Amino acid sequence: MIGEASPALALRIAIATYGHTAALKQGQVPIAGVKPDFIEVKPIIAAFRRMVRDVEFDVCEMAPATYMIAREAGSPFKALPVFIYRRFHHAGFVCRDDAGIRAPKDLEGRKAGVRAYSVTTGIWTRGILQNEYGVDLSKVTWVVDDEEHVKSLRLPANVVQAPAGRSLVDMMAAGEIQAAFTDNAGIGRAGAPKDGWQATAQRPPSYVELFPDAPRLEAEWFRKTGIYPVHGLIVVKDELLARQPWIAKALFDAFVESKERYRAQLAAGASVSDKDDFYRRMAAIVGDPLPYGVTANRPAIDALITYCHQQGLLGKRYAMDEMFLNPEA
């Protein structure tokens, strides 16, 4: 335990600034017993790779699927149930309107683009396609054009690399792939950069959403399953947890306090970040738009572990405590 005279523990922490982390990073919310050194990494996705490959930070934000794959491969860090971003996944998967894809099962025998197979967005949508709509994912060829964060990951046989010099944007335009994710493949206007659709909100008329009524389906799916998909979590070095076991609860409590301050700002109608309106919309569906902890997130965590196992990204279906610390216990 921390004594009153104990010196603060210096920690290198790599997390992005969001509405719900701002108070923490600005020092308005202290971490008990800790002197944080917040390392700015832009884009934050670069920190994921640095942590997976070099274990560079004491505490780091990371994509949840990347984390679980890395953990299975022996990476020496473990996750706190602090989820940095949330969203549903029926929207954002588009098909060429001349491909004859009118229902999810029509994807079988076709090619679909995704930046990397272990991208969390792809895992969630594929899990929905398989478990809600009966799609045999092994009958879809998944075309990728980027490397996986975890270099040792062995991909299923139906995952192929885009030809050298070809982008998913080009392949979709040429009809060489018939479907793709808009938010990580850059599919959109011809020559659009990655995430071009999100930035411009433009939708070429030749591409159509697989689920055109996505908002209704997402709300119904949440009411049926209790699953509110997770994106981004916080990992802590095993060596640090072994030496200073109190750090898990200290970090968790600080993240919770920072998030609750943000929720109060949302409720008051304040303008804090570019995600404010999004989280207000989510709150109308799920209540707390940023729930932390194992208990509140058990349906989502269980689903993501299951989906990763089903999709060949994890060798077994892990128990909750194998993947997550539980500072609430």
**Is 205's pLDDT higher than 50?**
no
The two structure tokens encoding residue 152: 């040792």
Range 93-224: architecture per CATH: 3-Layer(aba) Sandwich (3.40)
Query: Does 93-224 match 9-86+228-323 at the fold level?
Result: yes
Question: CATH number of 9-86+228-323: 3.40.50.2000, 2.40.440.10, 3.90.180.10, 3.40.190.10?
Answer: 3.40.190.10
- State whether residue 283 is helix, strand or coil: helix
**Is 134's pLDDT higher than 80?**
yes
pLDDT of 263 reads 97
**Is 178's pLDDT higher than 90?**
yes
Residue pLDDT, tens place only, 269-318 = 999 999 999 999 999 999 999 999 999 999 999 999 999 999 999 999 99
Decide: 315 and 72 in contact? Cβ < 8 Å: yes
Distance CA 146, CA 185 (A): 9
Query: Long-range pairs for 220-225 at CB < 8 Å and ≥24 separation?
Result: 221/88, 221/90, 221/128, 221/132, 222/88, 222/285, 222/286, 225/299, 225/303
Decide: 234 and 258 in contact? Cβ < 8 Å: no
**Is 204's pLDDT higher than 50?**
no
Domain boundaries, the chain: 9-86+228-323, 93-224
At residue 202 the predicted structure's pLDDT band, cuts being 50, 70 and 90, is very low
Q: Which of 1-10, 74-83, 209-218 has the lowest mean pLDDT?
A: 1-10
Using a cut of 0.85, tell me whether the model's pTM lies above it.
yes
Q: Which of 27-31, 68-72, 203-207, 220-224 has the lowest mean pLDDT?
A: 203-207
Distance CA 262, CA 97 (A): 41
In this prediction, what percent of the chain has a pLDDT beyond 90? Answer: 88
- Biggest CA-to-CA distance, the chain: 70
Average pLDDT over residues 45-71: 96
